[in-house]
């Protein structure tokens, strides 16, 4: 790397690019025409990986324009050494745009466009430590490939994002991925430890949305369903629902829904849970996804799994499933407001009753959530969250939570506290966590106390009631400028836990090695053990965990395993058990991908005899007609094998599914779904449990 380039990036960390106004809107066709000649440009990208802070292998230039209604971006991505790769079903080139319209230094929209034309969008939260791809925006794009470059044009309507009127400087960043080299470049400089930090974005200067007035989204849905359950006649259901969004101002939005169809088109995958705590399931329903970044407590994201937030609002409690039946949601209303310093949200929903054999299993129930958050000290936050549900006077569940988040560079400290009241049973909980660099050591620490009487089971997700836990892990994180290793983290740690119902503290030591290699492969190994107390049992806990991930000829591979000695809550005794997993996707031809994911759970009894093996195998076929239309077929097999008797393997359940999806306009979809679920009966044969077919159309009226 030249001395000039080193000097240039050292004095140019705070990058600025101007947006210029155009009377002639660019045609979004992937061809950078003459209208772009007046635009300012963002160049001088810096390599993020595989070689941190090096000069990029290829040059990238980004041009920015605006008119009264839209922001426009054009990318010219040179590829003189390697031809651009575009493939629907394997690794390919892409570009990324990240926008922080409030200069919040913590939250940003991202827009990801692959060379094949496939898109993704979402939000960066908690200064980039957490990524939420549930946000679905209205924007337009085009890509054109050449032998020595590819060109991209993007149009983002101002009314599809939140922004502060009169705020002319927005946070901005651009990225580019070169598939042939496994190389990622950003306009602003990050270390590999930091990742895409919102607080280090450059500045987009001179933004001036001319658009005025109110913006509406009417989102009608129509669906025809066929449901057939064991021992019953099949029933056809023709229904409709209406979703409504009104941007009262660029900062304030109202969302409403009436008689929505929130049935899952594809069920959550099978998982054998041997622990004492339930599995957390992600939200998938559009009404709850819109603006959900406001109705949440802060976290460190999936890359750092050491901290448990106090989730006193868990949206999947609304319209939950009982005996496989989803409780209907009659109506929902949500108001959110974002400004430079404040985020405020209020949500209400009302669910219908659920009856079986003339017996009311779940009464009609109202839900309410209120959230307020204020930014302090540049990019830190303080906030309050109130959640509650009530069916009748003596059947309610309320919770109030407070939190403070302090951020300084990569370092982040979270402190959360909450109180609950469930039908006159009151309790409290506290959780805190720290992630940062301490004298060159990457340090993770957390502390948690949940009182026995704390209960948010009807409105939130904090199932570890009565648990006290303290954890610290710290070790050197090293990034290598050259050679086989890209970065390496070695850290010892200790966890002290007092499980519910026990007076003694468990003390577990652990040791972790996490390495990422220059070829985009990685390995994580963790070893832990120590005296443990739970369920009136004293034993020596031990566990070993291995995870490997990588890329073979543009196809992603992930596999690993876990082996340990602990309490098996599924069986009710102390014994060895293990789990393993593997997933691999293979692109046969650009439109066609074959995938296979599998798990295997193995259990031993107290005498160390193998008593059961539970495999899950799910082959999947995906065919893409184009960037917006695809069909997927999967078949999930769940089996059991007693002891070591391979010949006695039985098929417990089988779920076969087909999903056709067509995103024919922004936020407008056509779905055709077929699902059949079979369960083993007493005689050992598979019997149809339920069969569902659905045709669903969602159309966005946007004005």
Model confidence pLDDT, tens digit, residues 478-507: 999 989 999 999 999 999 999 988 889 999
d(CA 699, CA 240): 12
Task: Give the pLDDT mean for 584-595.
Answer: 95
Mean pLDDT of the chain: 88
Identify the pLDDT of residue 270.
61
- When pLDDT is cut at 50, 70 and 90, the band that residue 5 belongs to is very low
Q: What is the pLDDT of residues 282-338, one digit of tens each?
A: 776 777 877 778 888 888 877 777 899 999 999 888 887 776 677 888 889 999 998
d(CA 550, CA 101): 35
Say yes or no to pLDDT of 339 above 80: yes
Say yes or no to pLDDT of 529 above 50: yes
Please state, for a pLDDT cut of 90, what percent of the chain lies above it: 60
Q: Return the CATH fold of 3-205.
A: Immunoglobulin-like (2.60.40)
Residue, of 227 and 401, whose pLDDT is higher: 401
**Nearest 5°: phi and psi at 44?**
55, 50
Q: Checking DSSP bridges between strand 16-18 and strand 202-205, what pairing results, if any?
A: parallel
Identify the pLDDT of residue 424.
93
- When pLDDT is cut at 50, 70 and 90, the band that residue 2 belongs to is very low
In three-state form (DSSP H/G/I as H, E/B as E, the rest C), the secondary structure along 534-559 is: ECCEEEEEEEEEEEEEEEECCEEEEE
Say yes or no to pLDDT of 223 above 80: no
Q: What is the pLDDT of residues 19-36, one digit of tens each?
A: 999 999 999 999 999 999
Burial of residue 59 (CB within 10 Å: 0-12, 13-18, 19+) is middle
Buried b (16+ CB within 10 A) or exposed e, 651-687: ebbbbebbbbbbbeeebbbeebbbbbbbbbeeeeeee
d(CA 567, CA 562): 15
Task: Give the pLDDT mean for 118-139.
Answer: 88
- When pLDDT is cut at 50, 70 and 90, the band that residue 196 belongs to is confident
Could you tell me which residues come within 8 angstroms of residue 433 by beta carbon, excluding any fewer than 6 positions away? 300, 306, 307, 413, 414, 444, 445, 446, 447
Identify the pLDDT of residue 269.
59
d(CA 613, CA 637): 14
d(CA 443, CA 473): 6
Could you tell me which residues come within 8 angstroms of residue 685 by beta carbon, excluding any fewer than 6 positions away? none
Q: What is the pLDDT of residues 406-454, one digit of tens each?
A: 999 889 999 999 999 999 999 999 999 999 998 889 999 999 999 999 9
Task: Give the pLDDT mean for 634-644.
Answer: 87
Number of continuous H segments (helices) and E segments (strands) in the chain: 2, 44
Could you tell me which residues come within 8 angstroms of residue 565 by beta carbon, excluding any fewer than 6 positions away? 539, 540, 541, 542, 543, 574, 575, 576
Residue, of 642 and 560, whose pLDDT is higher: 560
Task: Give the pLDDT mean for 121-144.
Answer: 88
Identify the pLDDT of residue 330.
87
Identify the pLDDT of residue 439.
87
Identify the pLDDT of residue 276.
74
Among 11-20, 182-191, 382-391, the minimum mean pLDDT is found in: 11-20
- When pLDDT is cut at 50, 70 and 90, the band that residue 398 belongs to is very high
Say yes or no to pLDDT of 608 above 80: yes
Task: Give the pLDDT mean for 95-107.
Answer: 93
Task: Give the pLDDT mean for 159-180.
Answer: 91
Say yes or no to pLDDT of 643 above 80: no
Say yes or no to pLDDT of 238 above 50: yes
Say yes or no to pLDDT of 11 above 60: no
Q: How far is CA 598 from CA 270, 394, 581, 584, 643, in A?
A: 10, 45, 6, 9, 20
Identify the pLDDT of residue 267.
53
In the chain, where the domains are located: 3-205, 275-460
Give the torsion sign (CA, 476, 478, 483, 484). Answer: positive
DSSP-derived secondary structure letter, 278: P
């Amino acid at each position: 790397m030249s001395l000039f380039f080193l000097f240039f990036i050292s004095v140019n960390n705070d990058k600025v690019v101007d947006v210029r106004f155009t009377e002639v809107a660019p045609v979004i066709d992937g061809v950078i025409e003459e209208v772009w000649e007046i635009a300012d440009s963002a160049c001088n990208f810096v390599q993020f990986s595989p070689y941190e802070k090096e000069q990029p292998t290829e040059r990238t230039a980004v041009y920015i324009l605006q008119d009264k209604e839209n922001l426009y971006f054009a990318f010219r991505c040179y590829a003189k050494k390697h031809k651009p790769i575009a493939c629907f079903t394997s690794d390919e080139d892409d570009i990324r745009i990240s926008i922080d319209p409030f200069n919040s230094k913590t939250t940003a929209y991202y827009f990801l466009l692959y060379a094949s034309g496939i898109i993704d969008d979402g939000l960066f939260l908690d200064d980039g430590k957490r990524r939420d791809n549930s946000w679905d925006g209205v924007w337009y794009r085009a890509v054109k490939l050449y032998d020595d470059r590819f060109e991209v044009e993007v149009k983002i309507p101002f009314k599809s994002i939140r922004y502060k009127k009169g705020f002319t400087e927005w946070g901005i960043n651009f990225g580019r991925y070169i598939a042939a080299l496994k190389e990622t470049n950003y306009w602003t400089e990050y270390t590999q430890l930091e990742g895409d930090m919102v607080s280090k974005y450059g500045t987009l200067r001179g933004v001036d949305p001319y658009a005025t007035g109110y913006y509406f989204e009417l989102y009608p849905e129509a669906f025809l369903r066929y449901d057939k359950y064991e021992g019953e006649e099949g029933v056809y259901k023709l229904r409709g629902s209406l979703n409504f969004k009104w941007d009262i101002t660029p900062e304030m939005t109202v969302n409403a829904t009436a008689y929505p169809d929130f049935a899952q088109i594809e069920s959550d995958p099978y998982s054998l849970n041997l622990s004492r705590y339930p599995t957390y399931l992600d939200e998938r329903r559009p009404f709850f996804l819109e603006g959900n970044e406001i109705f949440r407590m802060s976290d460190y994201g999936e890359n750092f799994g050491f901290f448990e937030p106090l989730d006193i609002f868990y949206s999947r409690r609304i319209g939950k499933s009982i005996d496989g039946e989803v409780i209907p949601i009659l109506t929902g209303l949500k108001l959110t407001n974002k400004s430079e310093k404040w985020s405020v949200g209020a949500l209400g929903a009302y669910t219908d009753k659920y009856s079986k054999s003339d017996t009311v299993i779940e009464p009609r129930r109202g839900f309410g959530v209120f959230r307020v958050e204020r930014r302090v000290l540049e990019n830190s936050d303080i906030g309050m969250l109130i959640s509650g549900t009530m069916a009748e006077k003596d059947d309610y569940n309320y919770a109030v939570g407070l939190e403070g988040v302090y951020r300084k560079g990569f370092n982040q400290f979270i402190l959360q506290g909450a109180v609950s009241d469930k039908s006159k049973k009151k309790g409290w909980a506290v959780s805190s966590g720290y992630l940062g660099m301490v004298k060159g050591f990457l340090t993770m620490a957390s502390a948690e106390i949940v009182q026995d009487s704390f209960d948010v089971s009807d409105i939130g997700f904090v199932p570890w009631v009565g648990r006290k836990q303290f954890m610290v892990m710290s070790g050197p994180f090293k990034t290598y400028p050259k050679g086989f290793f890209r970065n390496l983290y070695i850290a010892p740690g200790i966890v002290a836990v007092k499980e519910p119902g026990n007076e003694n503290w468990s003390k577990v030591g652990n040791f972790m090695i996490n390495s990422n290699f220059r070829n985009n492969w990685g390995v994580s190994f963790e070893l832990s053990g120590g005296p443990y107390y739970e369920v009136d049992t004293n034993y020596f806990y031990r566990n070993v965990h291995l995870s490997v991930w990588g890329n073979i000829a543009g196809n992603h591979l992930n596999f690993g395993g876990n082996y340990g000695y602990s309490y098996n809550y599924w069986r009710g005794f102390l014994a060895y058990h293990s789990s393993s997993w593997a997933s691999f996707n293979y692109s046969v031809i650009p439109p066609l991908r074959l995938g296979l994911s599998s798990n295997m759970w193995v259990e031993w009894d107290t005498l160390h005899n193998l008593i059961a093996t539970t495999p899950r195998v799910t082959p999947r076929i995906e065919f893409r007609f184009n960037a917006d239309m695809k069909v997927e077929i999967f078949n999930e097999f769940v089996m059991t094998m007693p002891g070591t008797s391979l010949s006695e393997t039985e098929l417990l359940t089988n779920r076969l599914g087909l999903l056709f999806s067509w995103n024919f306009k922004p936020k407008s979809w056509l779905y055709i779904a077929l699902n059949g679920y079979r369960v083993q009966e007493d005689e050992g044969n598979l019997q149809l449990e339920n069969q569902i077919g659905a045709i669903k159309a969602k159309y966005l009226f946007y004005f």
